Amino acid sequence: MITGTTQADCAVLIVAAGVGEFEAGISKNGQTREHALLAYTLGVKQLIAGVKMDSTEPPYSQKRYEEIVKEVSTYIKKIGYNSDNVGFNVKNVSVKDVRCGNMAGDSKNDPPMEAAGFTAQVISQNHPGQISAPVLDCHMAHIAYKFAELKEKIDRHSGKKLEDGPKFLKSGDAAIVEMVPGKPMCVESFSSYPPLGRFAVHDMRWMVAVGVIKAMDKKAAGAGKVTKSAQKAQKAK
């Protein structure tokens, strides 16, 4: 599935509507969630969701259909589909100081911070040999990084631990890893800010892994630049 998804322009997500089937698929570790997230992370920007209605009680229940549409729509919007672009003005910041991958936020309310490292759950893919110069693609940032530690191999569906400290990962394996970017970058946990917590890994033009960030190292993080207007507002208070 991963290999095919990397080449796709559009994905079709089939959602089973049967009692128990839908609930299992949309649960925390369900395949409906996993497949939708995987499609978005791998760059498929168009998603068609089809609801398989032939196993509902009563058959083809309109109420069940509307319930599923509401829940699936909420989730796929959360991971990034059909999101909004918002423009705003910032004073006292030079264009030369703004680069692709920079983040803006409220300096008084959970401000963006540069993380020196983070814990992530990754799924490996096919790769022709050893990973040599991987690049992490997260939101609009593209940063060289390294695997600091392979902490544990897990079941990709249930999240259950299979092995502590694996020496290597094969195609299709899922694992919890410690990752260190070549220079500080702004990321967040997927549970808190989904668009800032999912990523893909490329090496020599090959996509070698996809993943989500579980936790970031904020102890080794640095705060960003606070604009003069924000500083004045803080002093006025």
**The CATH number, out of the four listed (3.20.20.70, 3.30.1490.20, 2.40.30.10, 3.30.930.10), of the domain defined by the range 113-221:** 2.40.30.10
Res 73 pLDDT > 50: yes
Residue with tokens 């829940």: 71
pLDDT by residue (tens digit) across 1-11? 655 665 678 99
pTM of the model: 0.63
H or E stretch covering 78: helix 62-79
Q: Which of 138 and 229 is assigned the larger pLDDT? A: 138
Contact indicator for 192, 105 with CB cutoff of 8 Å: no
Cα separation, 136 vs 202, whole angstroms:
7
Distance (Å, whole) CA 74 – CA 66: 12
Domains 2-79 and 113-221 share a fold: no
- pLDDT at 95 > cutoff 50: yes
Q: Which residues contact 116 (CB under 8 A, 6 or more apart)?
A: 180, 181, 184, 217, 220, 221
Task: Report the C-alpha gap between 204 and 149 in whole angstroms.
Answer: 22
What pLDDT, on the 0 to 100 scale, is given for residue 221? 44
pLDDT at 191 (0 to 100): 84
Q: Are 189 and 213 in contact (CB under 8 A)?
A: yes
- Both tokens of 45, joined, read 């920007």
Domain 2-79 has CATH 3.40.50.11270: no
What are the angstrom distances between the C-alpha of 74 and each of 29, 34, 56, 67, 78?
Answer: 17, 15, 21, 11, 6
| CA distance to 36, 49, 103, 157, 189, per residue, from 115 (Å) | 27, 35, 12, 28, 11
What does the pLDDT look like over 36-57, one tens digit per residue? 888 887 778 889 999 999 888 8
Q: Which residues contact 233 (CB under 8 A, 6 or more apart)?
A: none
**In this structure, what are the phi and psi dihedrals at residue 178, rounded to the nearest 5 degrees?**
-100, 130
Spatial contact of 84 and 129, defined as CB atoms under 8 Å apart: no
Angle of helix 31-41 relative to helix 62-79, nearest 10 degrees? 40
Residue 109 has pLDDT above 80, yes or no: yes
From first CA to last CA, the distance across the chain in angstroms is 54
User: Hey, what are 147's tokens?
Assistant: 């695997």
CA 137 to chain centre: 10
Domain segments of the chain: what residues? 2-79, 113-221
